[in-house]
Amino acid sequence: MQKTRAAFKLSLRYCRQHEEVILADKLATNLMDKQFNKFWQNVRKQSNAKVAAKVNTVAGCVGDYEISDMWKTHFDSLYHSVDDDESKQTFLQRMSELNKQHGRYVITVRDIAAHCSQ
């Protein structure tokens, strides 16, 4: 019993140390034998084994609402980090002129392209 237990522990240690090599050999064997279904099943199993079911904490925020608020704040600060008052005033002036002429707001592709290039 001692010999078989020792042999088992030695085999288990070998398998744990060479796990990636054993899995790669298994995939290669499936490809060589043209067992494509088994190949893709094993790839799927290996890929899914490393994925966490759900992230609980992001940058110290816990829960769906806190995480979404953290990202909202991040992108808010990112998109509002540069002030361009001159372009804003030009845009508002054009909008008011168009509103006076047509009675409604009209934005053309040229207007958007001109402002994006500025």
pLDDT digits (tens, 9 = 90+) for 1-50: 899 999 999 988 888 888 888 888 888 888 888 888 888 888 888 777 55
- Residue range of the domain that includes 68: 53-82
Residues 34 and 73 in one domain: no
Rounded alpha-carbon distances, angstroms, from residue 95 to 42, 84, 91, 103, 117: 60, 17, 6, 11, 18
Tokens encoding 23: 């899995």
Residues 37 and 4 in one domain: yes
Q: CA nearest 94: which of 109, 105, 83, 103?
A: 105
The tens digit of pLDDT for each residue in 66-86 reads: 888 888 888 877 776 667 778
Domains of the chain: total = 3
Residues 59 and 92 in one domain: no
Residues 65 and 110 in one domain: no
